[in-house]
Structure formats: structure tokens, C-alpha cells
Amino acid sequence: MINPTEIKKDFPILNRQKNGKPLCYLDNAATTQKPRQVIEAITHFYETSNANIHRGIYDISEEATKMYEETRTTVQKFINAASPTEIIFTRNTTESINLIAYTWGEKYIQKGDEIIISILEHHSNLIPWQVLAKKKGAILKFIPIKKTLTLDLEKYKELLSKKTKLVSITGMSNALGTINPIKEITKEAKKFGAHVFIDAAQISAHQKIDVQKINCDFLAFSSHKMIGPTGVGILYAKQSILKKIPPFLYGGSMMTSVTLEETEFAKPPQKFEAGTPSIAEVVAFKSAIDYLEKLGFENIQKHEKELYKYAIQELSKIPNINLITPPEDKSGPVITFTIKDIHPHDIAEVLNSENIAIRAGKHCTDPLHKLLNLMATARLSFYIYNDKTDIDRTVKALKKCIKIFT
């Protein structure tokens, strides 16, 4: 079982005080805080092994290369990919999605082809496909949501056809917390021979992922949303696909031989990792995965569910609050809401005065907010170090907010 009081001690930033109150961090869907173990891994790398990778014939370079590649193997096992060569390090989930749009998309999407995404998508899983579709004369289609704020899977099945070349779906909505049935969605897409991209930026922090069980072709997530450093994105792609697609960026490290006229590209994953990557951050990402696996994803989920239930129960008592949440069993640890006649920015500002960090705005999901007829919303998102005290403080601050504005 998870003990958030003990976990809090591992996260130095949570000691940060404002007017004698410690930081209550509830914006985990944006980014997570980092434990001492991850921070120390970065420091340790720079103090003992810093060198560029895949080139130096000297101890520290070989050591740095080994550590960098160890994270690749750790990630492979973490998501149960068939081979470490299916793991590509990028800067973030956005770059991972763009990598596939610019390589696989450029090569295989043709005029009249159809790409299906959902209305729940973060802009990063919308804009790359929108731009690609415009460029190619392809058609972008959207899975709608039901009143329950979950995907309408019947409508999804109706959208699928032989024209469908790609289905790109988030595992969990960053705006509403809705968890999507990615395995089922993939299975349906495969009936029509479509490729499937899973945006796992949110879900990877909360659920164990098994790419072989899901049977998706591509999956992307970011280290920073799961207590790892910023600057590290992961792209998983099936080996058979990686062999067929062109490089994304050109330059150092991604080739085997170069003349003034021609370049022979390296094999995946190096082919897709041009230039010096975020070496220290990739190395430290292993410590983040180790930390989460030690806690265990079953325990993480149990803790989040318990906290979610408590938060919903307490928030529901606030007058004039409008909770914009899917059914409990289909939601991750995200609670989005509005309060009548108080702008979400003002809510966030009052909470900030109590040293509580939440998100206010449209959460990079403008079309979803437009559909729901919401100018903006406030969002709480929890993680392993949050506890009931954090919820109690938030509820108290929301009551203060209502007092100020009414």
C-alpha cells in the first residue's frame, strides 16, 4: 500500500513553503515533481560519467553509452516491447507524434485516406494529423463523446472503413481524465488494416502498459509526466514499420557512412536519434521507472482511486460547483470543474495564495471546451505524493474563493 506521507519526503520541492504552508501540487497532468532519486541520478551522471555517447573510445563515454542504453532496455521491459530497437528517445510526446506524422505519415498517407482521432485529444495529437491531412488531401474524422464524457464506441465503429489508414487516440484525456479502452479501439481498427497510434502521455503514469497486448503500431509518452526529467520523450514503434520509414531529423549519430554525395542511414533506433540527445535525463529516467515499479502500479492505482473518491465526495459538497467528470470507473486521477460565476483563473489565483497549484484554462483542448460550451475550466490532477490533506486544503481554499467572489 502507498503511504503518501513517506513518499512526500522523497520529493524535495514539496517542502517549499509560502506563508508557512507547504506546496500542495495538484497539476500532475501537466508535469510531475521529481524525487530525490531522480535528481541525484542526474547529478551523479554529471559528476561521474558525463561524456557524449556512441562515439568515444574512453571510459566515461563507454560508461555514458551503457547507462543511456540501459534506460532503453528498461523502457522496453516497462512497456513490454519486443525489442529495445523499438524504443526511440525524443524530446517529448509531441515530438514522438510529429516524428511519425513526418515520416510514416508522409510516406503512407494518400489523398482520400482517412485518419480517425477523438474529440478528447490534446492539441499535440490533433494538430500534426490536421496538418498532414491538409497537405495530403486526407480526411480527418473525430470519435465523438457521449453524455458520460466517454468515447462513443458505436460511432467509432461506424467511422471505420477500408479508407481508415490511422487511428490515433489518447489512453487518458488530460482535460477530463477519461480513460479510453485502447485495446478494444486497436482491435477494431485492425479489422480494417488501419495503423494505431496511442498517445500514452497521461496513462503511462497511472497504468502498466503492454504494447504487445494492446497490439498498437505506435505509442508515445513523456518521462516528465511520470516523475522523470523533462526533455525525454519515448516513441515505441513496431520494428517492421521502423525499417520501412525514412529518418525524421538528419545529422550526427543517425548514419553509418557519409560522402559528399550520399549518406547511408543507421539502423533503428539510431536512425531516428540525430544529434546529441538529453543523455543525463535519459539516464535518470531509469531511476523514475525503478521508483514507480517499486511502488507498483496496482498500488498506485489503488491510492489514486481512493483519493479520487474522497475528492469527489468532498468537492460535491461545495455549492455551485459543476464537476465535469466521466463515471468513476472510467476516470484517471483528474477532476475538472467550474464554479458558477467565478472564472477558473480566479479560482487558480486564490488557490495559489494558499500555495496550492492547479491548472486553469483549456488544457490544450480547445475543440473539446468549445463542444462542451465551456470558456475555461479548473483542473485538479493527483499523483502518488498527494493525500487527503491536499484535498482538504483545496476544498477549504475553494470555499474561501466563493466567499471572495460572491
- Cβ(139)–Cβ(133) under 8 Å? yes
Tell whether residue 340 is a contact of another protein (CB under 8 A).
no
Q: What's the min distance (Å) between Cβ of 25 and another protein?
A: 17
Binding segment for another protein among 110-118, 132-140, 222-230, 341-349 (CB under 8 A)? 341-349
* Helix%, strand%, coil% for the chain, nearest 5: 45, 20, 35
SS3 377: strand
Tell whether residue 353 is a contact of another protein (CB under 8 A).
yes
Candidate list 114, 344, 355, 387; residue touching another protein; CB under 8 A: 344
Tell whether residue 122 is a contact of another protein (CB under 8 A).
no
Distance, CA of 130 to CA of 122 (rounded, Å): 13
Q: What's the min distance (Å) between Cβ of 363 and another protein?
A: 11
Paired strand residues for 334? 381
Question: Looking at the annotation, which residues are catalytic?
Answer: 364
In the block, residue with C-alpha cell 522523497: 10
Q: What's the min distance (Å) between Cβ of 160 and another protein?
A: 33
SS3 220: strand
Nearer to another protein, 23 or 384 (CB): 23
Q: How many Cβ atoms sit within 10 Å of the Cβ of residue 215?
A: 15
Counting Cα atoms < 13 Å in the Cβ hemisphere of 276 gives 11
Nearer to another protein, 144 or 361 (CB): 361
Among 198, 214, 245, residue whose Cα is nearest residue 81: 214
> x/- string (CB under 8 A) for another protein, residues 287-326?
----------------------------------------
Nearer to another protein, 265 or 405 (CB): 405
Q: How many Cβ atoms sit within 10 Å of the Cβ of residue 6?
A: 9
Candidate list 241, 318, 376, 395; residue touching another protein; CB under 8 A: 376
Q: What's the min distance (Å) between Cβ of 359 and another protein?
A: 11
* Cα dihedral sign, 345-351-355-360: negative
Which regions of 55-194 does DSSP assign to beta strands (E)? 87-90, 114-118, 139-143, 164-170
Tell whether residue 18 is a contact of another protein (CB under 8 A).
no
Tell whether residue 360 is a contact of another protein (CB under 8 A).
yes
Q: What's the min distance (Å) between Cβ of 124 and another protein?
A: 16
Candidate list 39, 361, 367, 371; residue touching another protein; CB under 8 A: 361
Nearer to another protein, 235 or 350 (CB): 350
Q: What's the min distance (Å) between Cβ of 93 and another protein?
A: 21
- Cβ(268)–Cβ(242) under 8 Å? yes
Tell whether residue 228 is a contact of another protein (CB under 8 A).
no
Q: What's the min distance (Å) between Cβ of 295 and another protein?
A: 33
Element (H, E) at 309: helix 297-315
Tell whether residue 127 is a contact of another protein (CB under 8 A).
no
Nearer to another protein, 159 or 321 (CB): 321
**Cell, residue 108:** 503512407
Candidate list 108, 265, 310, 405; residue touching another protein; CB under 8 A: 405
Measured in whole angstroms, the distance separating CA 350 from the mean position of its chain's CA atoms is 28
Which regions of 259-368 does DSSP assign to beta strands (E)? 263-265, 321-323, 334-339, 356-357, 359-361
Candidate list 369, 371, 372, 392; residue touching another protein; CB under 8 A: 369
SS3 295: helix
Candidate list 290, 343, 354, 371; residue touching another protein; CB under 8 A: 343
Interface ranges with another protein (CB under 8 A): 343-346, 349-350, 353, 360-362, 366, 369, 374-376, 404-405
